[in-house]
Amino acid sequence: MYKISSYELFWVLTLMSIGMTVLITIQPAIQSAGNYAWLSVLIAGVAATLITYQATLLARAYQGKTFVQLCESLLGKWLAKLVILNYLIMWTSVTAIILRMASELIYEFILYRTPLIVIISCLSVLIFYGVHLGIEVLSRSATIFGPLVLLSIIVTIIFNIQNVELAHIQPVFVNIQIKPLLEGALTPVSLLGESVIIIALTAFIKDIKMSQGAFMGAIIITAFGLTLVTFLVISVLGVPFAVNQIFPYFTMVRKISLFNILQRLDALAIVVWLMSVYFKMTLYTYCFSHVMKDAFRLKNRSLIAFVFVLVVTVLSLIPNNYLTDEYLYRTTYWIRYALPVNMVGIPLLLLMIHWIKSKMNGSRQKQQENETVSS
């Protein structure tokens, strides 16, 4: 079994996190917090760092074990099945939503008039092919695509500095209200919190202790980059205009113009963004197939991945209006359930059970040693 190095793991988490967060978290943050949306994103980054640290502690305690083995050793066979099923449902639903969103963006910006089902089918085939190649190819490809995605965001930031209007960001630190700030942080932290996927990858990580810096560094850099991009979106577009944009980041990228030669970089930004989104969908599919195989003692991982991709493809075709359905999914399931339960609650519960068991085993071992000495 191939083991992911700390360098590869850094880019796996960075590539997985940065694409969707830049796309769909800025507008909700601006809608809730206005000029202080960047501060909401910063708060979300701190919260996501704590979520990642919690997941890191759990993964470190069960290095080399699969997600199924981890759950069964802490919860027992049947309760573990319920927890695992909960994550399988989450991975299925979110992959379907992302697939539809990615296909719609390709349709609108790149392949206009191409039937949507054709775009979705092509992406689905690519997802299955990526899963079939395995975790080694995925992790190594992340070291190539990850720097490209990060570099593209840095370039758009640099090229947009000339468009900054500081009047858009003012007033600064005046009449700050806590509730809007926290509400604005919900969407960013719910996407950054997906870093808990590392507990499903525990068996594939070479040295978790050495990789802790990679875990934390990936989330911190992503959160910092998102904060910077949010600040730039507000200062370039202004709150009244940005809040009415579906994807403010792409709107900001369109404003780039260097000597009237280098223009309309939004198409390039979408292509680079698709690298991140494709990788995220493929990683979720890979985790689903492996966890499903281990949990229900199945044999053919590729067949599981194939069925999963078919199900996700069908689900992605159901929504009539993907923007409305994405909003409902995000506000009703993702923020209200997936964030508090799957990203915070369950990992925290597993970690607490581990600490209790470790303490009990330590006390029992100490008692046995005392009995041995006394005898």
The answer to whether 178 touches 291, Cβ cutoff 8 Å, is no
pLDDT (0 to 100) of residue 183: 92
Number of domains the chain contains: 1
DSSP E strand stretches across 127-209: none
The percent of residues in the chain predicted with pLDDT above 90, rounded, is 49
Q: In this predicted model, what pLDDT tens digit does every residue of 4-25 receive, in sequence order?
A: 888 999 999 999 888 888 888 9
Answer whether residue 374 is part of any domain.
no
* Rounded Cα–Cα distance for residues 231 and 237 (Å): 10
pLDDT at 316 over 80: yes
Q: How far apart are the first and last CA of the chain?
A: 46
> Other C-beta atoms within 10 Å of 246: how many?
13
In a domain, 337, yes or no: yes
Q: Supply the DSSP symbol for 339.
A: I
Tokens of 311: 């199900």
370 falls within a domain: no
pLDDT of residue 349: 94
pLDDT value at 176 more than 80? no
- Confidence (pLDDT) at 70: 92
Q: What is the pLDDT of residues 106-144, one digit of tens each?
A: 888 788 888 999 999 999 999 999 999 888 899 999 999
d(C-alpha 140, C-alpha 359), whole Å = 39
Is residue 195 within 8 Å of 51, Cβ to Cβ?
A: yes
Which pLDDT score, from 0 to 100, does residue 1 have?
A: 67
Whether residue 371 is contained in a domain is answered as no
- Indicate whether 205 belongs to any domain: yes
What is the average pLDDT score of the chain? Answer: 88
What is residue 271's predicted lDDT score, i.e. its pLDDT? 78
Higher pLDDT, 322 or 114: 114
Q: Of all helices (H) and strands (E), which one includes residue 210? A: helix 208-237
pLDDT exceeds cutoff 90 at 273 = no
State yes or no: pLDDT of 81 exceeds 70: yes
For residue 220, the model assigns a pLDDT of 93
Domain harbouring 261, CATH code: 1.20.1740.10
When comparing pLDDT for 159 and 83, which is higher?
83
Which pLDDT score, from 0 to 100, does residue 63 have? Answer: 86
Percent of the chain with pLDDT over 70: 94
Angle at which helices 26-33 and 6-24 cross, to 10°: 50
Which helix (H) or strand (E) is 238 found in, with range?
Answer: none
What digits encode the pLDDT tens for the residues 21-73?
888 899 999 999 888 899 999 999 999 999 999 999 998 888 888 999 999 99
On whether residue 1 sits in a domain, the answer given is: no
Question: Which residue has tokens 């594939």?
Answer: 204
Residue 170 placed within a domain = yes
**Domain assignment present for 360:** yes
Phi-psi sector, 264: left (phi>0), alpha (psi -120 to 50), beta: left
Residue that wins the pLDDT comparison between 265 and 105: 105
Most confident of 80-84, 164-168, 236-240: 80-84
Per-residue pLDDT tens digits for 225-240: 999 999 999 999 988 8
Amino acid at 266: D
Domain that holds residue 33: 6-364
Output the pLDDT for position 366: 65
Tokens of 82: 């319920």
Task: Find the mean pLDDT for residues 194-202.
Answer: 90
DSSP-derived 3-state class of residue 246 = coil
Instruction: Give the pTM.
Output: 0.91
Q: What is the dihedral angle through the alpha carbons of 93, 137, 222, 86, rounded to the nearest 10 degrees? A: 30
Query: What is the per-residue pLDDT for 313?
Result: 95
